[in-house]
Structure 1
């Protein structure tokens, strides 16, 4: 059985390890990270050329099932995967880690987009921005001071008053506490990515009484079944 896994997430790597070598596994990475952590099995890097290109690749390489294990905010590839799977007549599953849920003492402000999150910063002065290097343009015209953390260096446009921290999770709670205290952060902006690797920043914000602007994740394409973790995604593959 040939399984195509879309995405360079932690869950995608775990799933590849669960399936390989009992199945032929090809993991497709977008190529946006300079030195990605490679999963077990075969790896391809780069885009497919939209839904039509992905459908053609699936047919050409005799793919039996597709797992969309991309980042929860990789909306375009998720919809391309749904169209491609329907065109190529192969089953598709979306592997999506559960989103974060606020707890007692959290001060979370909901935002539907990065642009809405930027508008929610009125009245704040020092922002911890953890939305990734691709989304800095939404904050380029803001007057606040930003600490922006990303795996790779971002490119313009970006805020004028910004310090970029290049780092890769998982992050510890002590590290997040120290970072927010040292930079005198008074608001945190994040996407609802879910997962444990980057969740300590939420605990650190709650302890410090720092509000969190949380950007909602886009929905999974209609009609696509989902699995919350790699183990259940692997069960779905085996059942086929």
Structure 2
């Protein structure tokens, strides 16, 4: 029987990891997607969409589908499923590791204001600017809904739902974004403050450079921690090495 690896996905890194696993002899990969994006780019291998029903539901799924290892390659801010995965994997004694792209690091000239939540970001905004480029995704917009004196440009893959700020223009787009396009967007919309989550990666990092060049402040929401005791890889390649060390996959020299 091939070794069954469940990848909790939805990120570019998860897709790359699934591609490598799918091409490995003796391995069967299933990618689990939350289903929040209308038209996701699907990885190779098996696909499941939707929630598990909490940690207990995930543990049951791992048992029924004879999963040999779990890789949590979800978005750095998908905190709930990460802790559910840790509980589920422990309950059924299945190895678990996390794949997290490294976070962003401020460069000389950056005017970063770091906070631990969207609510904290909303509290900072009135003192920083009046025309906000909001790049935190369509979830959690309620945190900014009361800021009636501010204007927002909100960018996300799918259209947002209420509640959200009353004075808001929506830009539907998917990265990667070029530095030139980010510069033009800031100029065209007269943006004077940027709000982002520390999702890391290169696909959306040019906005930080554009903000630095424009001299505007950036409110950065810090990412939540990985559950205690879970090994963390920074790249799909590192994840494969960890996976080989943690499971019977160490016998598969092609990894």
TM-score of the aligned structures, taking structure 1 as reference length: 0.99
Aligned runs of 1:193-212 on 2, under 5 Å?
193-212=199-218
2:145 maps to which of 140, 148, 152? 140
3-state SS of paired residue (1:159): coil
Structure 1 residue ranges without an equivalent (≥5): none
Match of 2:115 in 1: 111
Displacement of 1:48: 0.5
CA distance in 2, matches of 1:149, 1:26: 30
Match of 1:80 in 2: 84
3-state SS of paired residue (1:121): helix
Match of 2:251 in 1: none
3-state SS of paired residue (1:28): strand
Match of 1:18 in 2: 20
Displacement of 1:89: 0.5
3-state SS of paired residue (2:220): strand
Match of 2:135 in 1: 130
1:5 maps to which of 4, 7, 24? 7
CA distance in 2, matches of 1:50, 1:87: 13
Aligned runs of 1:33-182 on 2, under 5 Å?
33-123=37-127, 124-142=129-147, 143-182=149-188
Displacement of 1:234: 1.3
Displacement of 1:7: 1.7
Q: What CA deviation, in whole Å up to 9, does each residue of 1:43-101 have, x standing for no partner?
A: 11011000000000001101000000000000100000000000010000010000000
Displacement of 1:185: 0.3
Count of residues paired in the alignment = 240
Is 2:191 aligned against 1:189? no
TM-score of the aligned structures, taking structure 2 as reference length: 0.93
Structure 2 residue ranges without an equivalent (≥5): 248-255
Displacement of 1:135: 1.6
Structure 1 contact 21–41 (Cα < 8 Å) conserved: no
